[in-house]
């Protein structure tokens, strides 16, 4: 069942890209839309068949591939990856739908879009570490090309190369960590479920986990590993930015939780305080930098850094509430970022600028872009965590779940949700309100088809905000099980810590709030 | 063209910011550039304006003369047949001065629209509630502007007459007669006479504006017909028709009669000699084209915000200054006027709008800007009429006289130096 999600887009990409006769752009687009729609349908089927009470992998597929390398074609889905699969399917369709109908080199463009989808989905499904790395790298080149060829200005080559170098380093670090992990743990395979890190020395675990954190931290990205993001997001066309921020970045957060938390439950608690502080720093940095921006796309890009900070905080705290909140935040962030990038793209196409100092009065009902503006207001509200929308549910869970563990970083993140409102009020006030310039405001009308992606995303954001069960139910069991593993392993560590063989280890371990709490618990 | 050459020969070029416009006025032209596109737009919009105007003037007179001080005037926009059949004094066979060659009763397109609206035939009350009707709100806003700015404008004697003892006595008679069988209202009148008097003054302005538009409607109908027959060759022709019309009907009396139980009460008798040009046309242009007031939702009335000037004379919110782009926001009266005109656009103007900007979707704004252009033409006619009345001919051989004319034109155009004035915009065709 799961292979369909990987092979249909790959075969679709091949079909569109290698079709012998020249096909018009509209046909390529239609083909890509049909394929992405079929992926949505298939994901819905998966959702309907998914057992939410089962914390383990479901719909597993395993086929031996290169035994000597320990590489198996092993797939599976659980509550952590399922919501992200659904998000990827929806955002791929959104990105394809919102692509310019007269895009140049349509066959290559839509093929690459579908390849990106296949790579990301493969990453979410892979149950073999090498297979994960393969998929992780698979989406790298398509993204590079999508930015370099269809990017915005003359800086697109620079942005694409910067993205390529950063994410290639990310891939190398992750590969090195996985190789080290497998070899040092004495495992004969890269199978995720077979690898046990418990026997590794703490220092080794720390080194391997740090490599993973830096690798995935680049992908997310976390401050200070973020510098590729503003250039890539801004230079990429809006549909590619949707995939970059909405889908690809999730591969980073997913990897962090799946492999960081999942494979190093003992060591996670050690690095968690640092991660929480990094999360808070990312949130503050993202918000303050967004406030200073004059380009609305760059503002949205920086807001993304801020919001990924919440995911990191929730994952670092690793409580039942915060972890489910972190997964929810991944989904909500993907949806909200996608709607914002789409709308920014619409505004840029129609008005011809993204400059805050030039934009004005777009809410004007007849000559402005009223529905686009209204949806932008909605996107801004969702991003600022206004109740009734998906962003609120995710953020409140992260903040509520993290407070007991990391009060100060959580409080800083609470302040940052306020700062989110600040820069979105700036954005909306300058963009949507005020007067249209009589000399320049002759913008083409936004067609209904151009509004469809935003309407679909807005409806989803509302639905998940009003009915949050549908956001949380898929991942609750899995994340609860992960949290239980972390706590169990922490207990083991504590038992060792009571009679420490090395005093510095005990000091480090006793500093973490989870452990303090557990010491008091009989 | 001959005049222009002569004028240029006798006076050095103007150094005014709008020198081009000044030279055009000196050549007998209008503030609006003379292009076939401008001519087509302004004539088309005159036609679209004239049909609802035919409703406005009839209803304004109905309210002034019949509804009068009704404390609950729920049905004041429901014109009785008597007023729809009321003969316009400037159209039809029995006209005092036949300006329009059409019928004196309500325009057929108006009657058709009143019956069906945008939707379909249904009871009048439902059309009213659905706003599927001619919107009198704009007309009343114009009337209120004239009333409010009346004291300050210095035009004519009509407004000062409203404060005279004679007016008060006439109004008192009418008010007492109107509430003869209504002891509650009569008691209120005794307690608050000024309140009723002020309402009566407002009714006098209803009548004033109704009588003004009674003339303008046939003028615009006739201009449309002449254009359809290929009669106007350019914007100056259209403007000159207006100038000639202004002089032909300048003396038309402005009065206020009220009919109570079959008896006519002359609150402002015709014998007072108030003339159409000085007591209606000029105050109307000043109050409505130049001043009016900012509509709710477009400016902050908070004194600290300083978005509304302290002195009425500094008000410049009229159609010559209006930013038409955001119109449509809050159902404010100009939007309602545009909505009214939208129903009666001639086909050539609809085609024209379809070819530009957002086609049918922003027709309301496109026609608003056309309306703005057309009102610059009307204002040009008023300026030329005033120049004719107060100063010298354009082909006067005396350079001093021409200099006086230029000083007059420059003084008039100085009012459009304000940044919000649209004179600069209308010079270009791509302002639409």
From first to last of its 522 residues, chain A has per-residue pLDDT tens of: 889 999 999 999 999 888 776 677 778 889 999 999 999 999 999 999 999 898 888 888 888 888 777 788 989 999 899 999 999 999 999 999 998 888 888 889 999 999 999 999 999 999 989 999 999 988 889 999 999 998 887 788 889 999 999 999 999 999 999 999 888 887 777 888 777 777 788 888 899 999 999 999 998 888 888 888 888 888 889 999 999 998 999 999 999 999 988 888 888 888 999 999 999 999 999 999 999 999 999 999 999 999 999 999 999 998 999 999 999 999 999 999 999 999 999 999 999 998 999 998 898 888 899 999 999 999 999 999 999 999 999 999 999 999 999 999 999 999 999 999 999 999 999 999 888 888 888 999 999 999 999 999 999 999 999 999 998 999 888 888 888 877 655 555 555 544 444 444 444 444 444 444 444 443
- Locate A145 and state its tokens: 């090309």
Q: In Å, how far from its chain's centre is CA B155?
A: 16
Interface size A-B, in CB pairs within 8 Å, comes to 41
| Cβ separation A436–B326 shorter than 8 A | yes
- Location of structure tokens 């003992």: A266
* Residue B427 buriedness (CB in 10 A; 0-12 / 13-18 / 19+): middle
Among B295, B321, B325, B358, pick the best mutation site for testing chain A contact (most A Cβ within 10 A). B325
Beta bridge partners of A74: A62
Distance CA B208, CA B378 (A): 19
Is the distance from CB of A302 to CB of A371 less than 8 angstroms? no
- pLDDT one-digit tens code per residue, B196-243: 999 999 999 999 999 999 999 999 999 999 999 999 999 999 999 999
How much is the pTM? 0.85
Q: Which residue of B has its CA nearest to A370?
A: B329
Between the alpha carbon of residue A423 and those of residues A214, A329, A382, A408, A434, the distances in Å are 29, 20, 13, 23, 17
Which of A366, A435, A438 is facing B431, going by the closest CB pair? A438
- Location of structure tokens 């230079």: A235
CA distance A102 to chain B (A): 21
| Cβ separation B325–A366 shorter than 8 A | yes
| Cβ separation B325–A438 shorter than 8 A | yes
pLDDT, position A118: 94
Q: Are strands A71-77 and B256-260 parallel, antiparallel or unpaired?
A: unpaired
Give the burial string for A160-195 (b: 16+ CB within 10 Å, else e). Answer: bebbbebbeebbebbbebbeebbebbebebbbbeeb
Nearest by Cα to B252 from B89, B72, B415: B89
Distance CA A23, CA A32 (A): 13
Distance CA B117, CA B216 (A): 24
| Cβ separation B323–A365 shorter than 8 A | no
- pLDDT one-digit tens code per residue, B23-45: 999 999 999 999 999 999 999 99
| Cβ separation B361–A441 shorter than 8 A | no
Mean pLDDT across the stretch B49-78?
96
Q: Which residues have C-beta within 8 Å of that of residue A27, sequence separation ≥ 6?
A: none
Q: Considering only CB atoms, which chain A residues are within 8 Å of B360?
A: none
Q: Which residue of A has its CA nearest to B322?
A: A438
Higher-confidence position of A521 and B289 = B289
**A-contacting residues in B 342-361 (Cβ below 8 Å):** 357-358, 361
ipTM > 0.85? no
Asked if the peptide bond before residue A116 counts as cis, ω within 30 degrees of 0, the response is no
B126 interface with A at CB cutoff 8 Å: no
| Cβ separation B325–A364 shorter than 8 A | yes
Q: What is the mean pLDDT of chain B?
A: 91
| Cβ separation B325–A442 shorter than 8 A | no
The answer for B334, left when phi > 0, alpha when psi is -120 to 50, beta otherwise, is: alpha
Nearest by Cα to A260 from A339, A205, A313: A205
Does residue B5 surpass a pLDDT of 90? no
Nearest by Cα to B282 from B183, B159, B368: B159
**B-contacting residues in A 260-279 (Cβ below 8 Å):** none
Between the alpha carbon of residue A472 and those of residues A250, A393, A402, B343, the distances in Å are 17, 9, 17, 53
Nearest by Cα to A126 from A209, A6, A302: A6
Nearest by Cα to B105 from B270, B218, B222: B218
A374 interface with B at CB cutoff 8 Å: no
Reported as type and span, the H/E element at residue B117 is: none
- Location of structure tokens 């509209």: A26
* Residue B78 buriedness (CB in 10 A; 0-12 / 13-18 / 19+): middle
| Cβ separation A438–B364 shorter than 8 A | no
- Location of structure tokens 């869970």: A397
pLDDT, position A44: 95
Distance CA B60, CA B44 (A): 24
| Cβ separation B431–A442 shorter than 8 A | no
Beta bridge partners of A128: A191
- Locate B389 and state its tokens: 């009345």
């Amino acid at each position: 069942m799961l292979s369909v999600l990987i092979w249909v887009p790959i075969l679709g990409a091949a079909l569109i890209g290698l079709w012998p006769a020249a096909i018009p752009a509209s046909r390529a687009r239609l083909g890509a839309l049909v394929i992405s729609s079929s992926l949505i349908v298939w994901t819905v089927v998966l959702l309907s068949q998914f057992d939410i009470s089962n914390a383990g992998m479901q719909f597993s597929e395993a086929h031996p591939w290169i035994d000597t390398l320990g590489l198996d074609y092993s797939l599976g889905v659980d509550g952590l990856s399922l919501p992200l699969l659904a998000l990827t399917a929806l955002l791929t369709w959104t990105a394809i739908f919102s692509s310019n109908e007269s895009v140049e080199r349509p066959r290559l463009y839509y093929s690459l879009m579908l390849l990106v989808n296949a790579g990301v989905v493969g990453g979410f499904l892979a149950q073999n570490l090498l297979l994960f790395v393969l998929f992780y790298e698979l989406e790298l080149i398509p993204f590079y090309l999508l930015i370099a060829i269809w990017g915005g200005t003359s800086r697109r080559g620079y942005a694409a190369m910067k993205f390529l170098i950063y994410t290639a380093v990310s891939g190398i670090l992750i590969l090195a960590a996985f190789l080290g992990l497998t070899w040092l743990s004495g495992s004969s395979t890269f199978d995720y479920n077979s690898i046990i890190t418990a026997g590794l020395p703490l220092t080794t675990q720390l080194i391997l986990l740090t490599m993973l954190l830096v690798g995935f931290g680049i992908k997310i990205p976390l401050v200070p590993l973020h510098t590729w993001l503003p250039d890539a997001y801004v230079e990429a066309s809006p549909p590619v930015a949707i995939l970059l921020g909405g889908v690809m970045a999730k591969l980073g957060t997913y990897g962090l939780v799946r492999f960081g938390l999942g494979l190093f439950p003992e060591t996670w608690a050690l690095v968690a305080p640092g991660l929480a502080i990094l999360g808070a720093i990312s949130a503050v940095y993202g918000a303050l930098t967004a406030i200073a921006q004059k380009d609305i796309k760059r503002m949205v890009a920086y807001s993304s850094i801020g919001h990924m900070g919440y995911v990191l905080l929730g994952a670092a705290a690793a409580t039942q509430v915060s972890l489910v909140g972190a997964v929810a935040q991944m989904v909500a962030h993907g949806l909200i970022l996608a709607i914002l990038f789409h709308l920014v793209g619409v505004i840029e196409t129609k008005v011809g600028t993204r400059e805050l100092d030039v934009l004005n009065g777009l809410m004007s009902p007849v000559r402005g872009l009223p529905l686009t503006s209204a949806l932008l207001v909605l996107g801004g509200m969702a991003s600022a965590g206004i109740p009734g929308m998906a962003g609120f549910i995710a953020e409140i869970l992260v903040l509520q779940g993290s407070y007991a563990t990391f009060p100060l970083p959580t409080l800083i993140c609470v302040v940052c949700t306020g700062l989110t409102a600040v820069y979105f009020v700036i954005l909306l006030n300058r963009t949507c309100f005020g007067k249209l310039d009589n000399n320049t405001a002759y913008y083409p009308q936004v067609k209904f088809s151009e509004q469809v992606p935003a309407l679909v995303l807005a409806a989803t954001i509302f639905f998940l905000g009003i009915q949050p069960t549908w956001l949380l139910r898929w991942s609750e069991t899995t994340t609860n099980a992960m949290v239980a593993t972390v706590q169990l392993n922490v207990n083991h560590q504590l038992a060792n810590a009571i009679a420490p063989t090395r005093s510095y280890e005990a000091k480090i371990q006793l500093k973490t709030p989870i452990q303090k709490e557990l010491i008091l618990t009989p | 063209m001959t005049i222009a050459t002569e004028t240029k020969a006798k006076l050095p070029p103007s150094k005014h910011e709008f020198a081009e416009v000044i030279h055009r006025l000196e050549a007998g032209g209008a503030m609006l550039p003379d292009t076939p596109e401008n001519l087509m737009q302004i004539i088309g919009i005159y036609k679209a304006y004239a049909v609802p105007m035919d409703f406005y003037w009839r209803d304004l007179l109905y309210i002034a003369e019949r509804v009068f001080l009704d404390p609950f005037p729920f049905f004041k926009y429901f014109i009785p047949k008597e007023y729809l059949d009321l003969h316009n004094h400037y159209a039809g066979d029995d006209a005092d001065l036949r300006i329009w060659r059409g019928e004196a009763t309500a325009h057929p397109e108006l009657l058709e629209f009143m019956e069906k609206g945008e939707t379909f035939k249904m009871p009048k009350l439902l059309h009213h509630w659905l706003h599927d009707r001619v919107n009198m709100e704009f007309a009343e806003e114009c009337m209120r502007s004239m009333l409010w700015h009346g004291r300050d404008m210095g035009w004519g004697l009509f407004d000062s007459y409203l404060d005279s003892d004679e007016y008060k006595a006439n109004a008192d008679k009418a008010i007492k007669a109107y509430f003869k069988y209504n002891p509650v209202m009569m008691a209120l009148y005794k307690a608050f006479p000024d309140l009723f008097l002020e309402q009566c003054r407002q009714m006098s302005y209803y009548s004033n504006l109704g009588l003004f538009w009674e003339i303008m409607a046939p003028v615009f109908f006739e201009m449309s017909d002449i254009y359809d027959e290929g009669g106007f060759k350019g914007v100056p022709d259209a403007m000159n028709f207006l100038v000639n019309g202004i002089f032909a009907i300048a003396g038309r009396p402005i009065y206020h009669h009220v009919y109570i139980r079959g008896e006519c009460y002359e609150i402002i008798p015709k014998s007072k000699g108030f003339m159409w040009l000085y007591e209606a046309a000029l105050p109307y242009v000043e109050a409505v084209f130049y001043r009016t007031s900012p509509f709710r939702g477009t400016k902050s009335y908070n004194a600290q915000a300083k978005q509304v000037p302290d002195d009425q004379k500094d008000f410049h919110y009229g159609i010559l200054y209006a930013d038409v782009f955001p119109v449509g926001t809050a159902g404010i009266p100009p939007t309602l006027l545009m909505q009214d005109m939208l129903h009666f656009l001639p086909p050539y103007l609809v085609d024209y709008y379809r070819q530009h900007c957002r086609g049918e979707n922003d027709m309301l704004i496109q026609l608003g800007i056309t309306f703005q252009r057309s009102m610059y033409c009307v204002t040009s006619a008023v300026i030329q009429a005033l120049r004719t009345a107060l100063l010298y001919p354009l082909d006067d051989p005396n350079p001093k006289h021409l200099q006086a004319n230029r000083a007059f034109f420059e003084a008039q155009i100085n009012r459009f130096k304000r940044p919000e004035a649209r004179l600069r915009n209308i010079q270009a065709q791509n302002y639409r």
